[in-house]
Structure 1
Amino acid sequence: MTQRRQTSRFPAFLIALGIVVALIVAGYLGWQRFKPPEELAATAPVETPAVQPTPISPETPPAPSPPAIEHPVETLVAEEGAEKQTPLPALADAGADAFVTERLTELLTRRNVLTFLQLDGFVRRAVATVDNLARAQAPVMVWPVNPTPQRFSTQRSAGGTEETIHPDNAKRYAPFVTLIESVDTAKAVALYRRLYPLFQQAYEELGFPGRYFNDRLVQVLDHLIATPVRNEPLAVTLVEVKGEVPSTRPWVRYEFADPALEDLSAGQKILLRIGPENHRRLQAKLVDIRGRVARR
């Protein structure tokens, strides 16, 4: 007889992975580096006295140059006769969240946006989540999605010696994968290109000045796509809690029993937890997106 255990850790992160990556698809009609918007007000030039450059001593190496951009995003250029677009707000503006929410609603519908997304600081959340997917931890407080009340289930073998992810668990993820597959890629491309200055600014604020967010996105996509599909049942273990305070949330203590799997990144472990069929479907979407964001 099998025994089911219930947890609620993973479904929201699947939505984070799918919706965030689906939204963050780059323009592929050209490959010019994105040019920042012009300054709102020009200032008069100020004459300054000529200054001789200070020679660099052999003991003081010059500051390293920013890495070259590998996958630049094309600048949007308004077509002749097209309706003038609303200027993009600055990331720190009070109306930035409302602007982004309106664009997301046009892409995903109001119902899906309100059901799944964390709209406050969405751009910063999306950027942080994409960056974290290739790392060991992806903190829930920066997810761009709402946690789901659904539960993750496991089963024990007949002898009770091994606990694995329950086969039926994958069914819970299928609707989310279907939603991800249904996102209009062409509209997502246009949205990403439209909002790219905000994504870039958020990435630099995250602690990567001089780095290019779209390059990081391609790195993360390559990392996730390389995750092998596992068809066999995956063993998990409930980590023991030591101390006098009892654990009231056992669902946050599950780990893969195989140390090699547990050492994978947060994003790769998500792909394994959702089941092989969902993994293949989502992987196909990631491959398609990668082909659009990376320089050809």
Structure 2
Amino acid sequence: MSEGKIWIVAIVVAALALGGLLYYSYHREQYLTSPQLTVPGANVSGAIANPRQHYPIEHVRGAPAAAASAPLPALNDDAAIIHALTALPGGAGLRALLRPQALIQHAVATINALPDRSLGSDVLPVHHAKGDFQVSTSAGVTTPSLANDTRYAPYMRVIEAIPTPALVAWYVHFYPLFQQAYQQLGYPHGYFNDRLIVVIDNLLATPDRATLPALVQGKNGMWDYADPALQSLSIGQRTLLRMGAADSATIKAKLRAIRADLSGKSLPGS
């Protein structure tokens, strides 16, 4: 993991929002692959490309029937897509964070890759965080610095501000574009909402920690986790681990609420 951080704001949380909001905190790691958009990489942590359960978008809990009749923009009409997303309650802060090029395609590619070990650096639908990734060293142990919270703040504000029902309604309305982008990614018979549930479950399986994990200098001066078990986790899980406990809990709570609506049922403890 390099010192420069990229953000995953949880697009799973806004599907670009699921695909764009969960990108809250993607750290530019040493495992970043060369730039690419069509990369169905190897899955880890039990994530599968063709999940056993099917979650029809028509069955999403609370989906507004009226939205189905509203016209959709073309997949490449980024201006219209961003306008609709930033028009959500609390969504105004998204405009400054988004990269307005192939937004949904990049969101889908990033979400799809989160349970994998790597992620192409140019598929992120949001801008890199400003400043450098900071670390702290005490008693010979290096950890992510709490000073990084300042860099996370714009992304966290958006995640907390957009109500889950409005976010899910936006995703349901724009779902045909997500499905189109997923099929173009290399899954002509896949169903994006099924994959999204798999991705959310992978993120929710990230170990909870009361303290920030120790880091060690890796290849090319980049930061790895000192614990090999943590370093072997998916790119999405490794990202969540770098956040403080409070921010990680906020992200997980948002993901549980989104999953409950998308699947029609709540997880234990939700």
Normalising by structure 2, we get a TM-score of 0.75
CA distance in 2 between counterparts of 1:97 and 1:162 reads 45
1:138 aligned residue: 119
Match of 1:215 in 2: 194
Query: 1:156–1:163: 8 Å Cα contact kept in structure 2?
Result: yes
> Is 1:205–2:205 an aligned residue pair?
no
Alpha carbons 1:164, 1:234 under 8 Å: kept: yes
Question: Structure 2: how far apart are the matches of 1:74 and 1:179?
Answer: 27
List aligned pairs for 1:37-186, cutoff 5 A. 70-74=54-58, 79=66, 85=70, 87-91=71-75, 96-107=77-88, 112-158=93-139, 161-186=140-165
Q: How far has the Cα of 1:172 moved from its partner?
A: 3.7
Distance 2:16 2:92 in 1: 19
Q: Where in structure 1 are there 5+ consecutive unaligned residues?
A: 1-5, 26-65, 242-249
Change in CA separation of 1:24 and 1:74 when aligned onto 2, cut-off 3 Å: farther
How far is 1:112 from its partner?
A: 2.3
| Partner Cα separation in structure 2 for residue 197 and residue 83 of structure 1 | 10
SS in 1 for 2:212: coil
Give the corresponding residue for 1:274.
Answer: 243
User: 1:238/1:74 Cα in 2 relative to 1: closer, same or farther (>3 Å)?
Assistant: same
Question: What is the Cα deviation at residue 68 of structure 1?
Answer: 7.3
Listed one character per residue, the Cα deviations across residues 182-222 of structure 1 (whole Å, up to 9, x for unaligned) are 10222222211111111001101111111110000001111
Give the root-mean-square deviation of aligned CA atoms: 2.9
1:13 counterpart = 2:13: no
* 1:285 counterpart = 2:266: no
Residues 188 and 14 of structure 1: CA distance in aligned 2, closer, same or farther (over 3 Å) = closer
Residues 23 and 191 in structure 1, CA contact (< 8 A), matched pair in contact too: no
Fraction of identical pairs, as percent? 36
CA 1:90–1:173 in 2, change beyond 3 Å: closer, same or farther? closer
Per-residue deviation, 1:135: 0.7
Q: Which has the higher contact order (CA 8 A, sep 6+)?
A: 1
Secondary structure of the residue aligned to 1:208 is coil
- Alignment-derived partner of residue 166 in structure 2: 187
Q: In the comparison of the two structures, how many residue pairs are matched?
A: 232
Mapped to 1, the partners of 2:68 and 2:192 lie a distance apart of 29
How far apart, in 1, do the equivalents of 2:255 and 2:68 lie?
32
Distance 1:266 1:236 in 2: 16
Do 1:163 and 1:236's aligned partners in 2 also have CA atoms closer than 8 Å?
Answer: yes
Give how far 1:228 is off. Answer: 1.6
**Cα distance, 1:162 vs structure 2:** 2.8
TM-superposed CA distance for 1:261, in Å, is 0.7
**Distance in 2, Cα, partners of 1:211 & 1:256:** 34
SS of the equivalent of 2:58 reads coil
Q: Shift of the alpha carbon at 1:108?
A: 6.2
Normalising by the residue count of structure 1, what TM-score does the alignment of the two structures yield?
0.69
CA contact (8 A) 2:11 2:19 kept: no
Question: Is the 2:10–2:18 contact (alpha carbons within 8 Å) kept by the matching residues of 1?
Answer: no
Q: Which amino acid aligns with 1:113?
A: L
